[in-house]
């Protein structure tokens, strides 16, 4: 609850044109890209600088008002769904690229910068920022950092964590701190930068970030390998890695996914095969040439039906763009689309793909699978209908079993989408109770009043995924 | 104010009529956000984004919120440009959702008396009646020719009107006389060899205020080798009605048009206004719950083709086309591009004109803010969008801005006027420009202008 008196104080900080609490404005921040979660915040606020953020956070701390920092709300774990009401903080006015430092190869940005805008800006200077979540046209850097997002290039270049050098953050008590710096080496004290990356808005509000850039690779080639057999495709993934080749991108799409993606993108994707691998390699021309040739041989050896290399950069770009649309395109199939994020060591990809198919059969649900196969990160996705309670129950059970299986194979419950509310019930499977306690201790130390994105990451008694409240 | 009784009725009708599957089909990925002009111009407010609007419509159905003024406002401020549709990987038919929602709200809200009178005049009294349209246009022509316009402009009386309207008054084309408008023949024969038989959807505004453009269109079609039928019984397409929450009238008009065109045995029905074309293509959706009309509407809709599309199909761009050297840019008609998917055809035609340097405008596919009567009723947002557009238009250094829809044409003229560029930059409909290019080419090749009004004896051009 935000009383009138507190509301006035918020308005004093940002002005009435940046504070909203009409039903309409609250409703449009009651959801994110996670299916079936919705809950109204009490108000929405749009600060324009770190000092305003600090004042806002202090007020919230004093009055125990929950804070939900929100980028573009594209996360898939209900991380920005205000399940306990409170104040949603938006960063659309903090969306400046502050500096591109060509000497230190860094870029400093405000949290509201759109990932794609950042990538475009640095690429214009011949520099490369590799993390490229499929949502990059919409997602913000603040969101990427807090979910530790990965992307199509994660296999070779790693995820957001690997590129965050320094952060400016407002702690729940209103203190503004600086972590890290433009340094290649820095071992002074606890690594708070890494702690904040992936903290899902539960520890602090990020107000600025300095990110590492690398030189732009000279060339790039894109390949599509077609398979009549799902598991053969999965085996190829392990085989490529085992042969000590690390492609930039190694994506897996099964037939149902191919069909919907083609339906949207209309670029002539093959829809009559059981699976495809989308493979990219970048680097100097001779290395790319050499690796692609080796990869082609491996694909064919693992029974690829055919291997095609994109002839033009446009063709290659169309292929990756189409892959990025996979999730939303799957939403064409049924009213509700539930996507998961199970991840296994890449040597276990074939086993996991097989397990997913068996589980789908066992619970009689349709599961379409695609994902960043190269880093073991699969997105089994179920097209379903939230109104069909009986089926939803089977879906839930199937996912439970998928997570259990992933952990058995040495994997995890989420590779890049975060825990949020969606995965909270399963976190303990992965961490054990001691692991949870350690994390809770950290949370309590930073945020004794539990105002920062409460209800996320740590599970409550209930396991229900469906929350709708007014 | 919306009374609580009105809200209740609107809520009930939302529950009853909104396509819930389509609402659920939006998985809230946000892929549509960067394409939405109102989202961008509002300073990235989710409530003015497609994802937000869909969420609001769904929330009304779900009973989570009431359809209050704020909800109405977000729906009103939508341009209906449908830029959110082609980028949506889930294939959400946003335009249909919007149309239904607006219809429900409008039919159940008591408008203020002046608004009622205006709506009734425009939607019932004027647009559906070709003769009245002609008469009204001829009044405008009288106003322009008689000298009253000059007096009005000098006296400053126009300053009493909202800024958009005052400027609009300056940029309106010279209205044709009643006689010119009444001279429309019902059949025109192809010049030279006949390759196709088409029908022409002449429209209401296009056949009055933009008569010249319509004449240019038929001329081009004749040159391309089309026999043209222009049925007299056709009427306004109903787009204005459909987009403004007057669905019932839109359906009536649709039925009249389907009847007018259905027995003509033509290959295509040609349109030259992106907005009309998109609405005509959607007739099958408009009438999909009407068993008697559904199939007839489908048959009609599949025949709709934009003029630039047929010209490309008939290789018109290979004909001699020439203009004095100039930089040209093209502003997409939202509906032509986002609904009919026609965007490379106009560009192909323009690039094929000798003398033309074609420069693509940044964000050419973004709405110019015209959007039916949006620029009058939502003047502030419209002008903000237009100013943004003009920055991109100016950056091309084009002397000619080409459009494919009367609304966009007027809006671009408005933009040119607002920027004080009317002496150096012009906006023109693509068919008018093409005709100009045909004439210039024939002038330089044969040494004399072909008199295109002398009909079919001038077959030299088509060879
Ligand atoms: C179609 C689609 C494809 C996707 N593809 C990928 C993919 O390939 N890889 C991947 O990793 N993810 C993917 N995602 C998930 C999602 O896009 C990412 O998690 C993304 O990083 C979220 O960014 P956002 O700006 O939308 O953040 P939001 O969703 O708004 O927020 C995410 C989290 O960050 C917190 N947060 C945001 N800003 C701040 C801040 N300034 N300070 C503190 N906390 C903050 C929020 O509280 C929340 O917990 C995809 C999502 C969709 C819908
Ligand atoms: S792109 Fe489509 S599915 Fe995604 S939010 Fe927009 S309308 Fe919804
Ligand atoms: S129709 Fe245009 S203005 Fe309306 S939501 Fe879609 S993109 Fe935005």
User: Is 60 exceeded by the pLDDT of residue A359?
Assistant: yes
Nearest residue to A340 (alpha-carbon basis) of A374, A393, A383: A383
Distance, CA of B324 to CA of B451 (rounded, Å): 20
Ligand sitting nearest the alpha carbon of B31: 2
**Residue A418 alpha carbon to ligand 1 centre in Å:** 9
Mutation target to probe the B interface, by most B beta carbons within 10 A, among A24, A269, A333 is A24
DSSP per-residue string spanning B358-417: E-PPTTTTS--S-TTTHHHHTHHHHHHHHHHHHHHHHHTT-SEEEESSHHHHHHHHHHHH
Chain B residues with CB inside 8 Å of A325's CB? Answer: 31, 89
Residue B446 confidence (pLDDT): 58
Condensed to tens digits (0 to 9), the pLDDT of residues B267-283 reads: 999 999 998 999 999 99
Residue A281 confidence (pLDDT): 96
Chain B residues with CB inside 8 Å of A263's CB? Answer: 91
- Check pocket membership of B95 for ligand 2, CB cut-off 6 A: no
Mean pLDDT (chain B, rounded)? 87
Residue A459 confidence (pLDDT): 80
**Residue B52 alpha carbon to ligand 2 centre in Å:** 10
A128-142, B157-171, B365-379, B423-437: the lowest-pLDDT one: B157-171
Question: Long-range contacts for A159-164 (Cβ within 8 Å, ≥24 apart)?
Answer: A159/A131, A159/A416, A160/A131, A160/A197, A161/A194, A161/A197, A161/A198, A162/A131, A162/A212, A163/A129, A163/A130, A163/A131, A163/A211, A163/A212, A163/A213, A164/A193, A164/A194, A164/A197, A164/A209, A164/A210, A164/A211, A164/A212
Q: Mean pLDDT, to the nearest integer, of A77-102? A: 97
Q: How confident is the model at residue A318 (pLDDT cuts 50, 70, 90)?
A: confident
Condensed to tens digits (0 to 9), the pLDDT of residues A262-298 reads: 988 888 888 889 999 999 999 999 999 999 999 999 9
Residue A373 confidence (pLDDT): 87
Q: ipTM value of the model?
A: 0.92
Q: Mean pLDDT, to the nearest integer, of B167-182? A: 75
Q: Mean pLDDT, to the nearest integer, of A164-179? A: 97
Is residue A347 helix, strand or coil?
Answer: helix
What residues does CATH 3.40.462.10 cover in chain A?
A: 219-408
Q: Determine the residue of B23, B36, B47, B90 to mutate for testing ligand 2's pocket, defined as the one with the most ligand atoms within 8 A of the Cβ atom.
A: B90
Which CATH number applies to A219-408: 3.20.10.10, 3.40.50.1220, 3.40.367.20, 3.40.462.10? 3.40.462.10
Burial (CB count within 10 angstroms: exposed 0-12, middle 13-18, buried 19+), residue A390:
exposed
Residue B112 confidence (pLDDT): 65
Query: What is the share, in percent, of chain B residues with pLDDT greater than 70?
Result: 86
Q: Mean pLDDT, to the nearest integer, of B5-17? A: 92
Residue A411 confidence (pLDDT): 93
Q: Which residues of A72-107 are buried (b: 16+ CB within 10 A; e: fewer)?
A: bbbbbbbbbbbbbbbbbbbbbbbbebeebeeeebbb
User: Is 50 exceeded by the pLDDT of residue B115?
Assistant: yes
Q: Mean pLDDT, to the nearest integer, of B419-438? A: 95
Condensed to tens digits (0 to 9), the pLDDT of residues B225-261 reads: 999 999 999 999 998 888 888 889 999 999 999 999 9
Q: Is the distance from CB of B369 to CB of B385 less than 8 angstroms?
A: yes
Across the interface, of A28, A331, A385, the residue whose CB is closest to B55 is A28
Between residues B330 and A371, which one has the greater pLDDT? B330
Ligand sitting nearest the alpha carbon of B32: 2
User: Is 90 exceeded by the pLDDT of residue B209?
Assistant: no
Between residues B161 and A247, which one has the greater pLDDT? A247
**Residue B54 alpha carbon to ligand 3 centre in Å:** 11
Query: Using the beta-carbon criterion (under 8 Å), do B44 and A30 form an inter-chain contact?
Result: no
Could you tell me what percentage of chain B is helix, strand and coil, using 3-state DSSP and rounding each to the nearest 5? 55, 10, 35
Across the interface, of B21, B43, B64, the residue whose CB is closest to A92 is B43
User: Is 70 exceeded by the pLDDT of residue A315?
Assistant: yes
Residue A469 confidence (pLDDT): 35
Q: Is the distance from CB of A26 to CB of A45 less than 8 angstroms?
A: no
Q: CA of B111 to nearest chain A CA: how many angstroms apart?
A: 22
For A87, B12, B99, the CA distances from B116, given in Å and listed in that order, are 41, 24, 19
Question: Which residue, by CA, sits nearest to atom 9 of ligand 1?
Answer: A133
What tokens were used for B47?
A: 């409530």
Q: Is the distance from CB of B299 to CB of B266 less than 8 angstroms?
A: no
Query: What is the share, in percent, of chain B residues with pLDDT greater than 90?
Result: 66
Nearest residue to A452 (alpha-carbon basis) of A207, A202, A206, A205: A202
Helices (H), ranges, A78-159? 115-123, 141-147, 154-157
Condensed to tens digits (0 to 9), the pLDDT of residues A409-432 reads: 999 988 889 999 988 888 888 889
Ligand sitting nearest the alpha carbon of A135: 1
Distance, CA of A353 to CA of B55 (rounded, Å): 35
Question: Which residue, by CA, sits nearest to atom 7 of ligand 2?
Answer: B26
A87-90 and A67-70 as β-strands: parallel, antiparallel, unpaired? parallel
Q: How confident is the model at residue A466 (pLDDT cuts 50, 70, 90)?
A: very low
Tell me which residues have their CB closer than 6 angstroms to ligand 3.
B 35-38, 50, 53, 78-84, 94
**Residue B95 alpha carbon to ligand 3 centre in Å:** 8
Distance, CA of B393 to CA of B411 (rounded, Å): 13
Q: Is the distance from CB of B279 to CB of B241 less than 8 angstroms?
A: no
What residues does CATH 3.30.465.10 cover in chain A?
A: 1-216+426-470
Q: Mean pLDDT, to the nearest integer, of B360-383? A: 91
Chain A residues with CB inside 8 Å of B62's CB? Answer: 468
Strands (DSSP E) found in A171-274: 176-180, 205-212, 214-215, 219-227, 249-254
Residue B458 confidence (pLDDT): 41
User: Is 70 exceeded by the pLDDT of residue A463?
Assistant: no
Residue A464 confidence (pLDDT): 43
| Cα atoms in the Cβ-side hemisphere of radius 13 Å centred on A8 | 3
Query: Using the beta-carbon criterion (under 8 Å), do B31 and A264 form an inter-chain contact?
Result: no
Dihedrals phi, psi of A170, to nearest 5 degrees:
-100, 120
What tokens were used for B414?
A: 């408005």
Q: So what CATH class is A1-216+426-470?
A: alpha beta
User: Is 50 exceeded by the pLDDT of residue A214?
Assistant: yes
């Amino acid at each position: 609850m935000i009383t009138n008196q507190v509301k006035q104080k918020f308005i004093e900080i940002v002005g009435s044109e940046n504070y909203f609490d009409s039903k309409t404005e609250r409703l449009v921040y009651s959801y994110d890209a996670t299916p079936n979660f919705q809950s109204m915040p009490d108000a929405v606020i749009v600060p324009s600088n770190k000092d305003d953020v600090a004042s806002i956070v202090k007020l919230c701390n004093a009055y125990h008002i929950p804070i939900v920092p929100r980028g573009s709300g594209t996360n898939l774990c209900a991380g920005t769904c205000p399940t306990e009401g409170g104040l949603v903080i938006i960063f659309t006015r903090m969306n400046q690229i502050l500096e591109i430092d060509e000497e230190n190869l860094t870029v400093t940005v405000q949290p509201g910068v759109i990932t794609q805008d950042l990538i475009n800006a640095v690429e214009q200077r011949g520099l490369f920022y590799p993390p490229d979540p499929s949502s990059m046209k919409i997602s913000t850097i603040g969101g990427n950092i807090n979910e530790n997002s990965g992307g199509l290039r994660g296999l070779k270049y790693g995820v957001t964590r690997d590129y965050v050098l320094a952060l400016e953050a407002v702690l729940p008590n209103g203190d503004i701190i600086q972590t890290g710096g433009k340094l290649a080496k820095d071992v002074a004290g606890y690594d708070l930068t890494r702690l904040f990356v992936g903290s899902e808005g539960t520890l602090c509000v990020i107000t600025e970030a300095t990110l590492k850039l690398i030189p732009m690779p000279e060339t790039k080639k894109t390949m599509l390998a077609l398979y009549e057999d799902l598991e053969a495709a999965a085996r190829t993934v392990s085989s490529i890695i085992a042969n000590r080749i690390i492609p930039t991108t190694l994506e897996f799409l099964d037939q149902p996914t191919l069909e919907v993606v083609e339906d949207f993108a209309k670029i002539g994707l093959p829809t009559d095969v059981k699976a495809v691998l989308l493979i990219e390699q970048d680097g100097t021309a001779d290395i790319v040439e050499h690796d692609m040739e080796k990869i082609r041989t491996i694909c064919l050896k693992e029974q690829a039906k055919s291997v095609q290399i994109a002839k033009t950069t446009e063709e290659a770009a169309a292929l990756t763009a189409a892959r990025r649309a996979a999730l939303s395109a799957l939403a064409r199939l049924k009213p509700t689309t539930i996507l998961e994020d199970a991840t296994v060591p890449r040597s276990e990809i074939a086993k996991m793909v097989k397990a997913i198919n068996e589980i789908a059969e066992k619970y009689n649900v349709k599961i379409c699978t695609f994902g960043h196969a190269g880093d073991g990160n699969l997105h089994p996705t179920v097209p379903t209908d939230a109104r069909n309670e009986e089926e939803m129950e089977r879906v839930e059970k199937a996912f439970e079993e998928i997570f259990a299986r992933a952990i058995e194979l040495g994997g995890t419950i989420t590779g890049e989408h975060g825990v949020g509310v969606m995965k909270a019930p399963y976190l303990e499977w992965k961490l054990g109770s001691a692991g949870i306690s350690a994390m809770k201790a950290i949370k309590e130390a930073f945020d004794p009043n539990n105002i920062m994105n409460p209800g996320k990451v740590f599970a409550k008694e209930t396991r229900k995924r469906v929350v709708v409240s007014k | 104010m919306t009374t609580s009784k009105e809200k209740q009725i609107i809520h009930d009708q939302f529950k009853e009529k909104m396509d819930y599957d389509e609402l659920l089909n939006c998985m809230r990925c946000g892929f549509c956000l960067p394409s939405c002009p109102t989202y961008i111009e509002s300073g990235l407010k989710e409530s003015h984004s497609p994802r937000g609007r869909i969420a609001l419509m769904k929330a009304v159905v779900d009973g989570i919120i009431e359809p209050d003024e704020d909800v109405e406002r977000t729906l009103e401020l939508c341009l209906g440009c449908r830029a959110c549709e082609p980028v949506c990987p889930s294939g959400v038919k946003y335009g249909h959702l919007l149309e239904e929602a607006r219809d429900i709200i409008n039919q159940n809200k008591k408008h203020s008396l002046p608004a009622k009178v205006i709506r009734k005049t425009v939607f019932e009294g004027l647009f559906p009646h070709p003769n009245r349209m002609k008469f009204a246009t001829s009044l405008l022509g009288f106003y322009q020719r008689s000298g009253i316009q000059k007096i009005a402009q000098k006296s400053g009386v126009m300053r009493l009107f909202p800024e958009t309207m005052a400027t609009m008054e300056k940029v309106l084309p010279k209205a044709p006389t009643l006689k010119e408008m009444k001279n429309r023949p019902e059949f025109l024969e192809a010049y030279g060899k006949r390759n196709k038989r088409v029908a022409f959807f002449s429209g209401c505004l296009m056949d009055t205020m933009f008569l010249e453009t319509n004449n240019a269109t038929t001329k081009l079609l004749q040159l391309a080798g089309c026999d043209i039928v222009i049925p007299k019984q056709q009427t306004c397409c109903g787009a204005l009605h459909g987009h403004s929450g007057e669905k019932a009238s839109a359906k009536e008009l649709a039925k009249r048009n389907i009847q007018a065109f259905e027995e003509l045995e033509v290959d295509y029905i040609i349109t030259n206004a992106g907005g009309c074309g998109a609405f005509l293509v959607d007739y099958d959706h408009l009438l999909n719950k009407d068993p008697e009309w559904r199939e007839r509407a489908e048959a009609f809709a599949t025949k709709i083709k934009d003029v630039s599309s047929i010209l490309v199909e008939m290789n018109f761009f290979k004909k001699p086309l020439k203009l004095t050297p100039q930089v040209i840019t093209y502003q997409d008609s939202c509906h032509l591009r986002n609904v009919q998917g026609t965007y490379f055809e106009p560009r192909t035609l323009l690039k094929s004109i000798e003398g033309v340097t074609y420069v693509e405008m940044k964000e050419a596919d973004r709405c110019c803010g015209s959007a039916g009567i949006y620029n009058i009723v939502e003047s502030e947002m419209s002008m903000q969008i237009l100013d943004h557009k003009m920055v991109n238009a100016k950056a091309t250094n084009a002397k000619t801005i080409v459009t494919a829809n009367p609304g966009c044409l007027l809006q671009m003229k408005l933009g040119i006027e607002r920027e004080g560029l009317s002496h150096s930059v012009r906006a023109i409909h693509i068919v008018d420009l093409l005709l100009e290019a045909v004439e210039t080419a024939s002038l330089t090749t044969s040494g004399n202008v072909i008199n295109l009004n002398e009909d079919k004896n001038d077959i030299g051009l088509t060879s």
